[in-house]
């Protein structure tokens, strides 16, 4: 009987990681043809239960730009970080860098506020002790010199150890 | 004996769970690796603005992996979409006309540059059988589309929810996407990105006059001699 209970416990333990994993996969399938890549970090260690900062690095493919977090027109799609709620991980705010002024060569009077090249976001978090996974999606909309591309969602995953 | 069978079943379930977990884990890691693999990303092209200068690998348009399906020479797929007044409009209703189908979005800056051109060209070539259909490639409220079209001075038909028919039109991965369709319903020219007004008019003339595509393809406006950069993923 004891062995039976042991095995049942093992099965229950296996079942919970499976459930967590399926929620992680919610972002998959939306990341084809990305113009932005997540450079990392893949893992981070922070102080548990204290306000902490996760610095996230991104690269925009050469020749492309994306709207900043504060584009100059409400019709434009702002860059956002959408955090996936997870037990023990609380995202209190996200700091976005200021954009750079940009204008298309065919429309020089229409000023835009964009990111290009590398940029960094700082997610302010509070995490309970233990091993966690910070999961988020970077929502952005890219253009090149002559065309614009539909909004994308880029998965952002960081393994976090909170001590 | 009964207990042993129960144990055996439980062990089997555990093994199955372990295998499923391993499979899901492997699949997830592969998908994430694929997302970050540069070879899976769109070809990099130089920017016409103040961004980094062109490099040798991006200078030649022929080097671009063109992921946009070439629909030229094919019969345009029919669609039925609602216009701003709620009326259903089908492409097949315009058989016998020269039709320019232009996909756009409210967040697309290059789209808004060419739409006023289309308005004027529509007036200029209407008597020769030209019809221009603007199709939004996004799912937003009709009022927002109407407001945007009005601000651009556009009076030609604007159809909604082109995103729902994207697969039939090459996926519409880049906007603006335009298809120049002759009187027989065949796509003569196809462009992705902004082209000069002269090139747009040339392509309109070809479908109005019933001539096939030209041997030397035009380039998006920002890649011509007056601006920097190579064409985006468009062809014509």
Q: Is A3 on the interface with B (CB under 8 A)?
A: yes
Residue A13 sits at φ, ψ, to 5 deg, of: -65, -35
- What is the predicted pLDDT for the residue at B89? 96
Query: For residues A11 and B54, which has the higher predicted lDDT (pLDDT)?
Result: A11
Confidence of residue B47 (pLDDT cuts 50, 70, 90): very low
Q: pTM above the 0.90 mark?
A: no
A102 CB-contact burial (10 Å; exposed 0-12 / middle 13-18 / buried 19+): buried
Chain A contacts in chain B segment 10-69 (CB below 8 A): 10-11, 13-14, 17-18, 20-21, 24-25, 28, 31-32, 35-36, 38, 40-42, 44-52, 55, 58, 67
Beta bridge partners of A66: A115, A142
Chain A residues with CB under 8 Å of B105 CB are 148, 150
Q: Is A70 on the interface with B (CB under 8 A)?
A: no
For chain B, the distance separating the N- and C-terminal CA atoms, rounded to the nearest angstrom, is 76
Q: Span B176-196, mean pLDDT?
A: 95
Strands, sheet with A100-102, edge to edge from the N-terminal-most edge strand: A100-102, A112-115, A65-67, A142-143
Contact: A154, B18; criterion CB under 8 Å: no
* Residue matched to tokens 């070539």: B125
Q: What is the DSSP pairing of strand A36-40 with strand A80-83?
A: unpaired
CA B171 to CA B177: how far, in whole Å? Answer: 10
Q: Span A45-50, mean pLDDT?
A: 93
Confidence of residue B100 (pLDDT cuts 50, 70, 90): very high
Confidence of residue B207 (pLDDT cuts 50, 70, 90): very high
Model confidence at B157: pLDDT above 50:
yes
For chain A, the distance separating the N- and C-terminal CA atoms, rounded to the nearest angstrom, is 38
Model confidence at B67: pLDDT above 60:
yes
- What is the predicted pLDDT for the residue at B93? 94
Model confidence at A129: pLDDT above 60:
yes
Q: Is B151 on the interface with A (CB under 8 A)?
A: no
Chain A residues with CB under 8 Å of B175 CB are 147-150
Q: If you average pLDDT over every residue of chain B, what do you get?
A: 75
Model confidence at A140: pLDDT above 50:
yes
DSSP class of residue A32? S
Model confidence at B53: pLDDT above 80:
no
Tokens linked to A33: 């043809």
**Tens digits of residue pLDDT in B162-174:** 999 998 998 888 9
Chain B residues with CB under 8 Å of A34 CB are 35, 41
Strand boundaries in chain B, DSSP class E: 80-82, 88-90, 98-104, 130-136, 158-159, 177-181, 187-192
Proportion of chain A above pLDDT 70, given as a percent:
80
- What is the predicted pLDDT for the residue at B227? 33
Test mutation, B18, B51, B190, chain A, max A CBs within 10 A: B51
Distance from CA of A19 to the nearest CA of B (A): 10
Contact: B41, A24; criterion CB under 8 Å: no
Average the pLDDT over each of A43-57, B4-18, B189-203 and give the range with the smallest value.
B4-18
Contact: A65, B51; criterion CB under 8 Å: yes
* Residue matched to tokens 């082109």: B162
Nearest CA in chain A to B47: A63
Name all domains of chain A by residue range, CATH numbers in brackets.
2-162 (2.60.40.1250)
Which among B123, B98, B101 is positioned nearest to B172, based on CA atoms?
Answer: B101
SS3 readout for B138-157: CCCCHHHHHHHHHHCCCCCC
Average the pLDDT over each of B10-24, B61-75, B184-198, B213-227 and give the range with the smallest value.
B213-227
- What is the predicted pLDDT for the residue at B19? 58
- What is the predicted pLDDT for the residue at B211? 66
Confidence of residue B223 (pLDDT cuts 50, 70, 90): low
Q: Span A34-51, mean pLDDT?
A: 94
Confidence of residue A33 (pLDDT cuts 50, 70, 90): confident
Proportion of chain B above pLDDT 90, given as a percent:
55
- Is the backbone peptide bond immediately before B181 cis, with ω within 30 degrees of 0? no
Other CB atoms closer than 10 Å to residue B7's CB: what's the count? 13
CA A139 to CA A133: how far, in whole Å? Answer: 19
Average the pLDDT over each of A23-27, A140-144, B57-61 and give the range with the smallest value.
B57-61
């Amino acid at each position: 009987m004891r062995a039976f209970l042991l095995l049942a416990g093992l099965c229950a333990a296996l079942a919970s990681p499976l459930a967590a994993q399926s929620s992680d996969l919610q972002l998959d399938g939306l990341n084809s043809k990305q113009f932005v890549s997540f450079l990392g970090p893949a893992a981070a260690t922070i102080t548990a239960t204290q306000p902490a900062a996760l610095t996230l690095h991104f690269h925009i493919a050469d020749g492309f730009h994306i709207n900043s977090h504060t584009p100059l027109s409400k019709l434009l799609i702002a860059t956002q970080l959408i955090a996936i709620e997870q037990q023990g991980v609380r995202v209190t705010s996200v700091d976005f860098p200021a954009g750079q002024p940009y204008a298309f060569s065919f429309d020089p009077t229409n000023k835009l506020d964009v990111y290009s090249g590398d940029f960094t976001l700082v997610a302010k978090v509070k995490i309970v002790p233990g091993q966690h996974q910070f999961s988020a999606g970077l929502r952005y909309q890219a253009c090149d010199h002559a065309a614009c591309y539909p909004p994308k969602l880029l998965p952002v995953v960081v393994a976090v150890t909170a001590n | 004996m009964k207990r042993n069978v129960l144990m055996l079943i439980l062990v089997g379930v555990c093994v199955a769970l372990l295998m499923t977990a391993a499979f899901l884990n492997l699949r997830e890691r592969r998908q994430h690796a694929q997302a970050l693999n540069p070879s899976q990303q769109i070809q990099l092209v130089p920017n016409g603005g103040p961004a980094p200068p062109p490099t040798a690998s991006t200078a030649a348009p022929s080097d671009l992996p063109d992921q946009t399906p070439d629909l030229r020479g094919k019969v345009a797929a029919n669609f039925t979409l609602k216009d701003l007044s709620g009326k259903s409009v089908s492409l097949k209703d315009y058989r016998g006309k020269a039709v320019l189908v232009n996909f756009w979005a409210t967040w697309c800056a290059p789209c808004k540059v060419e739409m006023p051109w289309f308005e004027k060209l529509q007036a200029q070539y209407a008597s020769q059988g030209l019809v221009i259909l603007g199709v939004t490639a996004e799912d937003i409220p009709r009022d927002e589309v109407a407001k945007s079209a009005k601000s651009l001075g556009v009076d030609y038909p604007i159809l909604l929810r082109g995103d729902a028919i994207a697969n039939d039109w090459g996926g519409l991965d880049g906007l603006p996407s335009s298809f120049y369709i002759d009187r027989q319903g065949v796509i003569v020219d196809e462009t992705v990105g902004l082209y000069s007004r002269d090139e747009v008019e040339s392509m309109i003339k070809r479908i109005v006059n019933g001539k096939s595509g030209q041997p030397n393809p035009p380039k998006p406006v920002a890649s011509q001699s007056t601006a920097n950069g190579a064409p985006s993923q468009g062809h014509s």
